[in-house]
Structure 1
Amino acid sequence: MTLNLTAQKRDVFGKQTKQLRKKGFVPAELYGRGIQNLHLSLSRQEFLKAFREAGENTIINVMIDGKPHPVLIYDVQRDSISGEFLNIDFYQFRADEEIELQVPIVFIGEAPAVKEKGAVLTKAMDQVEIRALPADIPHHLEVNLSVLTDIGQSVYVKDLPSGKFEILVSPGTVVVTASEVKVEEEAPVIDESAQIEGVAVETEEKKAERAQEKEAKESSSEGSTPKATK
């Protein structure tokens, strides 16, 4: 079932759209090949609901003056801090026009290499570019991780599900790998107190040796000194 989203034409632009957002609306643009661009506004809450369900690769009907416009959510701009919707681009397509777009990759299942052999998953891609007619665009492509039974195994683009669409990425591109966990060797811990104590003990021993050597020399000197004669 195609989602419907009601929008109104707007005549405010630039900084004035800030007031529009404060009232709970989001500015939007609708465009496509061979049609006139439309400047729109729509309810933030209604769009959020549709966006969560449809994402950026599902056909929805934008209703303008009661007339449906089949579109894709082509681009969504958000505030980098608050996450607030700033602007939305809708692309109105023709039914016979192929579209190039990114489709999410969804990972399902559990990799035996992770569960049984301690590997970690290295995900190289979370979306893939495809070309398809609007009616044939998949909502997402699934990757079943259960095929990764050993460390070092990978899933490639060529392993992704096929359909009435063309994947525009090299078949040999890695999607996900069961990687070996690299354990870094810890540097040996040096007991500084023992090291200092050893130095101190060695110093005392050296002092004792020097004292003995000095005493021996003095004794030797006294024995060899000629006695004074009267």
Structure 2
Amino acid sequence: MQINAKTRSEFGKHNKPLRKQNSLPGVVMEKAKPSLPVTLGFVEFSKVYKDAGETALIDFALEGINFKVLISEVQLNPMSLKPIHAVFRKVDLKEKLTAQIPVEIVNEELNPLIKAGEAILLKLLSEITVEALPSDLPKEFIIDAVKLINIGDEIKVADLEYNRAKVEISEYNANEPVAKLDKVEEMKIEEEIAPALTEEEALAKVTATAELSDEEKAKREEEKKAEKGEKDKAKSDKK
């Protein structure tokens, strides 16, 4: 894969005309050196980025000078999601580097539990940091959903397939889960419906409520009479 580029002198708002000309502004980063502004073809970059991602080596041709780069970062238009700026990292093929390798899940539609709607595959790590020579970087870590058979089954870092002689994963414990087959929890909303009352039960309930109200009234009336009696007695004692 190759990208052809030219040095760029336009910056900031002056990059808008470049984009209208179907060109993409970018920069090349190199260790211990200033960044180098460049411009490249939008269509060419889009095709290369689709195949290479951020982990595959790319031949970078800059006005007669060729070197290897990795795509380090791509800025997207928030509305169209099309690239509007790219950052490339110039690499030394003999020097190990650190990179973020994406985790990809395949064959979810072939997993019996997922097909039946009984399970969901959770991706617990979206990318994994590795250290390797640029030419030895894996493009991605593939997780086959078919290999997860029972609810609770996990794919751990130790289960990932890669060249252990050339690629090192040091930031994660070997037992760190990368993906897990989890049960689908159905949210059931149960409404409590009171049983319908018969005519006799409804009448009895109304009568009981009425009787209770009469009792309450009588009780309050007696309390008032008692209170009045105590006041009258107090007045008589004073006399």
TM-score range, shorter chain: 0.7 to 0.9
Structure 2 CA distance for partners of 1:199 and 1:78, relative to 1, 3 Å: farther
TM superposition shift of 1:149: 1.4
Structure 2 CA distance for partners of 1:97 and 1:186, relative to 1, 3 Å: same
Q: Which amino acid aligns with 1:149?
A: I
TM superposition shift of 1:190: 2.9
Structure 2 CA distance for partners of 1:47 and 1:207, relative to 1, 3 Å: closer
Asked if the contact 1:117/1:150 (under 8 Å) is kept, the reply is: no
Paired residue secondary structure (1:37):
strand
TM superposition shift of 1:138: 1.1
CA distance in 1, matches of 2:177, 2:65: 44
Normalising by structure 1, report the TM-score.
Answer: 0.78
TM superposition shift of 1:54: 0.9
* Partner deviation per Cα, 1:155-178 (whole Å, 9 max, x = no partner): 111110131211232222211111
Say yes or no: does 1:173 pair with 2:176: yes
Asked if the contact 2:2/2:61 (under 8 Å) is kept, the reply is: yes
Asked if the contact 1:102/1:129 (under 8 Å) is kept, the reply is: yes
Equivalent residues, number: 206
TM superposition shift of 1:129: 1.2
TM superposition shift of 1:66: 2.4
Q: Which amino acid aligns with 1:94?
A: D
Paired residue secondary structure (1:19):
helix
Corresponding residue of 1:150: 150
Asked if the contact 1:117/1:151 (under 8 Å) is kept, the reply is: no
Q: Where does structure 1 differ by over 6 angstroms across 4 or more consecutive aligned residues? A: 197-200, 206-209
**CA RMSD across the alignment:** 2.9
Q: Which amino acid aligns with 2:173?
A: S
* Partner deviation per Cα, 1:199-229 (whole Å, 9 max, x = no partner): 97567767999xxxxxxxxxxxxxxxxxxxx
Equivalent of 1:100, from 98, 101, 104? 98
Paired residue secondary structure (1:16):
helix
Correspondence 1:75-154 to 2 at 5 A: 75-109=73-107, 110-115=110-115, 118-154=118-154
Q: Which amino acid aligns with 1:173?
A: E
Q: Which amino acid aligns with 2:177?
A: V
Structure 2 CA distance for partners of 1:191 and 1:80, relative to 1, 3 Å: farther
Say yes or no: does 1:186 pair with 2:194: no
* Partner deviation per Cα, 1:18-53 (whole Å, 9 max, x = no partner): 222122111110021244531101111111111111
* Structure 1 stretches lacking a partner, 5+ long: 210-230
Corresponding residue of 1:212: none
Identity %: 28
Paired residue secondary structure (1:152):
coil
